[in-house]
């Protein structure tokens, strides 16, 4: 528009500087016919007398269709009567009007234009004609709308983003407050999405998020809002609910939609979701509280095992605050030397001889006392604190074993767990080498445990990493065997030394035939691979008798000893 305006002004200036009337007329005709702006000339009553080619291009009306007509044929009905009254008042009193106006093309499409109307006066100063010059702003409007759309929508799923979700929540809140109604906020998070990303790659993860977005949209009514807050977290706003049945019905509809697998290229993936629900006004009277409380309820579902929904309850916030306080304390605990290692003996099944110990961390909290790892380890994993914490455990366990050796006690292996995050660290090998060198422990006196699930996240990476550790002389144990989804084709390639049978199988070994068969199968797999088997969670003599009978090499559990501090364990080695 700016270039065309400049050209128009230049042509008019040239016309003014020309003295000959014929030359002025020729320039005026050139401007009229070639400018990109529409021009309309009407009489004093507003009847169209003349239009230029740009008018036809912009409006779609031919010259013969508009001559003798009133410009109201272009009206879009977007402006009220007062708008046009003000326009005519300005023309009559000031001889000019300019501003934005919505008009309608011949094909029915509305468009925005910038219009400047000027009165043409006779020698007596009376208005005899009006000249309108206008420019089509449709392209500008479309660009602005696209920019606005991008600002308020998620680029991957095209769902409303966090900002637009907040706007929708504010509107829902105002509407519900005015009409004394309820509405619901549902926070939805995909279960184990990170595992899909790690296993199949981020491209597959993006495809899954797009597919989930499509299913969620289909589940909801037209007036409901489905938005993506980020990552694999979505929010759903259901307005004008009559009672809780409406919300539960919507939630069950979502669960039903997740029953079918998601097709990602050639892979069929089954995905579940955890949902937390808050209701206005009972669960919050601000958008921030409603979103926060729905999220708190969703995290409670995660804690209980995922693939479910939970209505918010006020006591949940108390737990959330406790967790936040514990998270803050967790970061201080390492520098304040509040962590301590306990050791649980690992013994030969046939003789009861101690041949190793699993190092287990405890937190000696200054106010809460001894805190179980079941309470703080999940929090450490969630925050990433598990990496420095795991390195501390590895160093302290090696230092302690070396100390026992210096005292002339029996050589044993100390077993240390590697978390998923820790195992994925690029400098894991370098850190282990450094700790072994600095503590002076022999590599063969260190055993590292990784879970079966962890090992299968990236089998090729696991094989490469375990081979390096094995070549160093470090022993490798696979923990929680039987609870994951191993592929034996991969598993036989893992350079391992021990398979740990999960305690969930040991618990029912004397009661359930199928459990007994699983334990026998795991021991058989260990034998065929030429590695040792160890049963954890052995608590009764009957369990021990069974494991002896089945040929399990080692045991660990309360039947022999609970985890004890370093001094008590030392007494066992004397």
CA distance 574 to 570: 7
- Supply the pLDDT for residue 78: 85
Report residue 372 as tokens.
């179980």
Tell me the torsion sign for CA atoms 553, 556, 561, 564: positive
CA distance 294 to 277: 5
- Supply the pLDDT for residue 15: 46
Report residue 20 as tokens.
């000959």
Sheet strands (E) in 207-353: 225-230, 233-241, 262-264, 267-269, 273-280, 309-311, 339-348
CA distance 374 to 381: 11
Give the SS3 label for residue 281: coil
For 515, residues 6+ apart whose C-beta sits below 8 A from its C-beta are 505, 508, 509
Alpha helix locations (H) across 279-313? Answer: 287-304
Give the SS3 label for residue 119: strand
Task: Tell me the Cα Rg of the chain.
Answer: 38
Nearest to 474 by CA among 503, 496, 492, 452: 496
- pTM for the complete prediction? 0.53
- Supply the pLDDT for residue 242: 79
CA distance 208 to 202: 10
Residue by residue, pLDDT tens for the chain (574 residues) are 455 555 555 554 454 454 456 666 676 677 788 788 899 999 988 899 999 999 999 999 999 999 999 999 999 888 888 889 889 899 888 889 998 898 999 998 888 888 999 998 888 888 889 999 998 888 777 777 677 777 788 888 889 999 899 999 999 999 888 888 889 999 999 988 888 887 788 888 898 999 999 999 998 888 899 999 988 999 999 998 877 778 888 888 998 899 888 888 777 888 999 999 998 888 888 989 999 989 988 988 888 788 888 888 776 556 555 666 777 788 889 989 999 999 999 999 999 999 999 999 999 998 888 888 988 998 888 788 899 999 999 999 999 999 999 999 999 999 999 998 999 888 999 999 999 999 999 999 999 999 988 888 888 899 999 999 999 999 999 998 866 555 566 677 889 999 999 998 999 898 888 889 999 999 999 998 899 999 999 999 999 999 999 999 999 999 999 999 999 999 999 8
For 79, residues 6+ apart whose C-beta sits below 8 A from its C-beta are 101, 102
What torsion, rounded to 10 degrees, do the Cα atoms 57, 62, 68, 73 define? -60
CA distance 354 to 360: 17
Sheet strands (E) in 349-474: 354-365, 369-371, 413-417, 446-451
Q: For 500-504, which contacts have Cβ atoms below 8 Å and span 24 or more sequence positions? A: 500/449, 500/534, 500/535, 500/536, 501/533, 501/534, 501/535, 501/536, 501/552, 502/536, 502/537, 503/535, 503/536, 503/537, 503/557, 504/537
Give the SS3 label for residue 495: coil
Tell me the torsion sign for CA atoms 500, 506, 509, 510: positive
Unique residue bearing structure tokens 């459990």: 515
- Supply the pLDDT for residue 447: 98
User: Number of helices and strands (H, E) in the chain?
Assistant: 23, 22
CA distance 463 to 490: 8
- Supply the pLDDT for residue 244: 75
Unique residue bearing structure tokens 């759309």: 149
Domains, in order of start, for the chain: 36-142 (3.30.450.20), 153-318 (3.30.70.270), 334-573 (3.20.20.450)
Nearest to 131 by CA among 170, 96, 155, 179: 96
Residue 64, H or E segment: helix 63-66
- Supply the pLDDT for residue 487: 56
**DSSP, res 409:** P
Unique residue bearing structure tokens 């509280």: 289
């Amino acid at each position: 528009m700016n270039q065309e305006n400049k050209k128009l002004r230049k042509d008019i200036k040239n016309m003014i500087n020309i003295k000959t009337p014929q030359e002025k007329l020729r320039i005026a005709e050139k401007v009229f016919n070639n400018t990109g702006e529409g021009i309309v000339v009407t009489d004093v009553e507003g009847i169209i007398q003349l239009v230029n080619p740009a008018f036809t291009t912009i409006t779609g009306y031919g010259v013969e269709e508009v001559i003798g007509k009133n410009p109201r044929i272009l009206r879009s009905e977007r402006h009220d009567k007062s708008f046009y009254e003000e326009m005519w008042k300005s023309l009559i009193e000031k001889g000019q009007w300019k501003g934005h106006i919505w008009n309608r093309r011949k094909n029915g499409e509305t468009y925005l234009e910038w219009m400047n109307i000027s009165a043409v006066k006779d020698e007596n100063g009376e208005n005899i004609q009006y000249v309108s010059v206008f420019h089509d702003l449709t392209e500008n409007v479309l660009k602005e709308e696209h920019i606005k759309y991008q600002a308020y929508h998620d680029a991957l799923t095209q769902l409303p983003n966090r900002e637009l979700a907040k706007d929708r929540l504010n509107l829902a809140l105002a509407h519900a407050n005015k009409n004394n109604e309820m509405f619901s906020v549902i926070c939805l998070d995909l279960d184990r999405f990170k595992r899909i990303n790690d296993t199949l790659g981020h491209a597959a993860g993006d495809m899954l998020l797009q597919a989930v977005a499509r299913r969620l949209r289909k589940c909801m009514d037209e007036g409901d809002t489905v938005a993506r807050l980020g990552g694999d977290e979505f929010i759903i706003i259901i307005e004008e609910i009559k009672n809780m049945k409406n919300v539960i019905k919507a939630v069950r509809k979502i669960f039903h939609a997740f029953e079918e697998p998601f097709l990602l290229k050639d892979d069929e993936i089954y995905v579940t979701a955890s949902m937390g629900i808050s209701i206005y006004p009972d669960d919050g009277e601000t958008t921030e509280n409603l979103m926060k409380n729905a999220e708190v309820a969703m995290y409670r579902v995660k804690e209980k095992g995922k693939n479910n929904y939970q209505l918010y309850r006020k006591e949940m916030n108390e737990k959330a605050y406790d967790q936040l306080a514990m998270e803050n304390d967790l970061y201080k605990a390492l520098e304040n030397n509040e962590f301590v290692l306990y050791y649980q003996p690992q013994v030969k099944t046939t003789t009861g001889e101690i041949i190793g110990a699993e190092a287990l961390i405890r937190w000696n909290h200054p106010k809460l006392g001894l805190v179980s790892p079941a309470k703080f380890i999940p929090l450490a994993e969630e925050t990433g604190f598990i990496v420095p914490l795991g390195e501390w455990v590895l160093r302290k366990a090696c230092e302690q074993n070396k100390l026992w050796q210096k005292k002339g006690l029996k050589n044993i292996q100390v077993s240390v767990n590697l978390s998923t995050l820790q195992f994925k660290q690029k400098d894991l090998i370098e850190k282990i080498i450094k700790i072994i060198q600095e503590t002076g422990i022999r590599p063969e006196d260190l055993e590292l445990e990784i879970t079966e699930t962890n090992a299968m996240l990236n089998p090729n990476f696991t094989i490469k990493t375990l081979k390096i550790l094995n070549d160093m002389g470090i022993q490798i144990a696979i923990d929680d065997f039987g609870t994951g989804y191993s592929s034996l084709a991969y598993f036989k390639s893992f350079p391992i030394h021990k398979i740990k049978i999960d305690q969930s199988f040991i618990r029912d070994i004397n009661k359930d035939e199928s459990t007994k068969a699983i334990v026998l199968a795991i021991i058989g797999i260990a034998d065929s691979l030429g590695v040792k088997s160890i049963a954890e969670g052995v608590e009764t003599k009957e369990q021990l008798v069974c494991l002896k009978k089945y040929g399990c090499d080692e045991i660990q559990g309360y039947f022999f000893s609970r985890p004890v501090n370093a001094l008590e364990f030392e007494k066992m080695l004397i």
